[in-house]
Amino acid sequence: MPGISREEVAHLARLARLELKDEELDHFAGQLDDIIGAVAAVSDVAEEDVPPTSHPLPLTNVMRPDVVRPGLTPEQALSGAPAQEQQRFKVPQILGED
Partner 1 sequence: MADLTRLTAAETAERIASGAVSAVEVAEAHLARIDAVDEKVHAFLHVDREGALAKAREVDGKRARGEELGPLAGVPLALKDIFTTKGVPTTVGSKILEGWIPPYDATVTRKLKEADVVILGKTNMDEFAMGSSTENSAYGPTGNPWDLTRVPGGSGGGSSAAITAYEAPLAIGTDTGGSIRQPAAVTGTVGVKPTYGGVSRYGMVAFSSSLDQAGPCARTVLDAALLHSVIAGHDELDSTSIDQPVPDVVAAARNGSVEGLRVGVVTEFRGEGYQAGVLQRVDETVELLRELGAEIVEVSCPSFTKALAAYYLIAPSECSSNLARFDAMRYGLRVGDDGSHSAEEVTALTREEGFGDEVKRRIMLGTYALSSGYYDAYYGSAQKVRTLITRDFERAFSQVDVLVSPTTPTTAFPLGERADDPMAMYLADLCTIPANLAGNAAMSVPCGLAPEDGLPVGLQIIAPAMADDRLYRVGAALEAAHQARWGHPLLEEAPSL
Q: What residues make contact with partner 1 under the rule CB under 8 A?
A: 1, 4, 8-9, 12-21, 24, 27-28, 31-32, 34-36, 38-46, 48, 50-57, 59, 62, 64, 72, 76-77, 79-83, 89, 91-94, 96
* Least spacing, CB of residue 71 vs partner 1, in Å: 9
Compute φ and ψ for 45, nearest 5 degrees: -95, 5
The distance of closest approach from Cβ of residue 86 to partner 1 in the complex, given in angstroms and rounded to an integer, is: 15
Amino acid identity for residue 37 in this structure: G
56 touches 50 (CB < 8 A): no
Query: Considering the complex, what minimum distance in angstroms separates the CB of residue 22 from partner 1?
Result: 12
CA distance 2 to 68: 53
Residue 62 or residue 98: which is nearer to partner 1 going by CB?
62
Q: How far is the CB of 40 from partner 1 (least distance, A)?
A: 7
Residues 90, 84 contacting (CB under 8 angstroms): yes
Contacts of 3 (CB under 8 A, 6+ apart): 33, 36, 37
- Which is nearer to partner 1, 21 or 98 (by Cβ)? 21
